Amino acid sequence: MSDFSLDTNFEVGDEIKIVFDIHNNVPISASDKSVYIVDLQECQDVENYPNTVLPQWSNVNEIIGTCNNWDGKINSQNILNQTGHTNSAAKVVSEVSRVVSGTTYNDWYLPSNAQLSTVYQLMDVLDPIIVQNNGKKLRKTQTHYQQKGYWTSSETQTPRPTPVFSISFNPDSGGGSTFGRPKTYRFRTRAFRHQTVSQSVNVAVGDIFGGGIVYKIVEAQSSSPAPKVDLDINIGNQQTNIFSQNELPSEHSSFIEHTVTALNGQSPKINFIFTNSNVQDYTWITNIKIFKKENELITQIQAGSKTTLAWSDNSNRWVSRYSYIPEYMTTFKTGIATFTNGDLFIHDDTVNKNYFYGGYYPTKVTYIENVSPSQPKVYMNHAVEGNAKPNYTTLQTEESWIMNSDLVGEDYIRREGTYYSEMFGDVNDPNVSDNATYGDKLRRGTKLRGQYIKVGMTFTDNDLEVKHSNIGYITSKGHTT
């Protein structure tokens, strides 16, 4: 059965967000096949007009929560339907129209991570045909991050500074790697579309067809109809309905925002109810994530120890902690001042950056790179956008075992304001001899892999300006989409 229930520990007043997608593995109709197509042209002619203004991902910064890794058409529609939406990369490609032999093709969309990655893998096959048909090559020679990359329509499902993605199409500069980006960044766009045709239509990858060039064909496997189902989501003691839609297709994504009420009760149960499915015994599969808005940060301090915490009036909660322990703190103009051993120290000093209590200290940044959290990945490279490279970078993944690697400053190469370095192997690799040097382990160890990676960077530059840190990866073999 497809129906299921979830037990929760939510309380009355909790603000929750339910993000889910449904799909059904019933084979598609044997009478049809799906043909996937990429446009021969680009939406922006950067080569001939280098001052062309590239589009932002969207003018709306809020997380949509339903832009997945595989269906660019659904993603693009979700982007265009955002409240307050006026411009976006998806809007640019949706306005593309190609007329071939009297037929107009105007149902283009911004590709997902998986769709754009597939085209990158076929770039050497497709480019010669694209050029022969007066199109613009996919391969890029520029090294600037904006001019070598295309936007995808995929998005993380949790808030973060870099929730959306670009993929580099320069094989010599991060080629094929997926980089997290802010929505305000600007990149190239390429239009994609797909259409259903009869099995009798003779078409292959690399053919000029449907207004562009074919990069993928999904063959039919049975005579089952396209799956559709009605879905209701209820919550609480009274089973209050919070979502109801009919005839949802496979691979549908959506989200619900709800505040738990007294009618729902404490620890309300959430029920997913599927009805009127047209695929008989084939089960509907649901991927679901539930988030609760947190308004407080809990820090445990050991007896006899001290710590410094920061409170945000705008967020109405504790938001950070600091390593220094002052005797007294106060505001000073737009910053803060502290005292220790009777001496005054002005913080946020633009002249003596990172100077605390009589000495200079390095800047240390640690974060979790959690792009596409369900997708197993092989991590390939590290890029830092800023005026200084890290002096030391630690990298760690943890799946069935812990994998560790690191980079030093000399490993990074500066190209147009961005520092790049290839990532080395796992120093804990059991297949590398115990007698090997540390450098040999880095060179010979297995590339780090997992669903997420922990990155720690140390900078000694006292005039540091870093915009972003990005990890490039490829999809782990055996887990393609």
pLDDT at 445 over 60: yes
pLDDT at 340 over 90: no
Domain positions in the chain are 4-26+224-292, 39-218, 308-361, 364-475
CB atoms within 10 A of CB 314: 6
**Residue 297: per-residue pLDDT:** 47
Considering only the top CATH level, what class is 364-475? Answer: mainly beta
**Residue 479: per-residue pLDDT:** 44
Say what percent of the chain tops pLDDT 70. 93
Rounded Cα gap, residues 178 and 166, in angstroms: 6
pLDDT at 349 over 90: no
Q: What is the pLDDT of residues 266-316, one digit of tens each?
A: 999 999 999 988 877 778 888 888 888 765 545 567 777 788 888 877 767
The answer to whether 191 and 106 are in contact (CB under 8 A) is no
**Residue 278: per-residue pLDDT:** 82
In whole angstroms, how far apart are CA 236 and each of 20, 21, 155, 290, 291? 19, 21, 30, 15, 17
**Residue 1: per-residue pLDDT:** 45
Domains 4-26+224-292 and 364-475 share a fold: yes
pLDDT at 224 over 60: no
Confidence class for position 319, pLDDT limits 50, 70, 90: confident
Say whether pTM exceeds 0.85: no
Give the pLDDT mean for 238-245.
93
For 4-26+224-292, CATH number? 2.60.120.260
- The SS3 assignment for 126 reads helix
Confidence class for position 461, pLDDT limits 50, 70, 90: confident
Lowest mean pLDDT of 66-75, 348-357, 393-402, name the range.
348-357
Give the pLDDT mean for 201-213.
93
Rounded Cα gap, residues 131 and 122, in angstroms: 14
**Residue 209: per-residue pLDDT:** 96
Structural tokens at position 8 = 């929760």
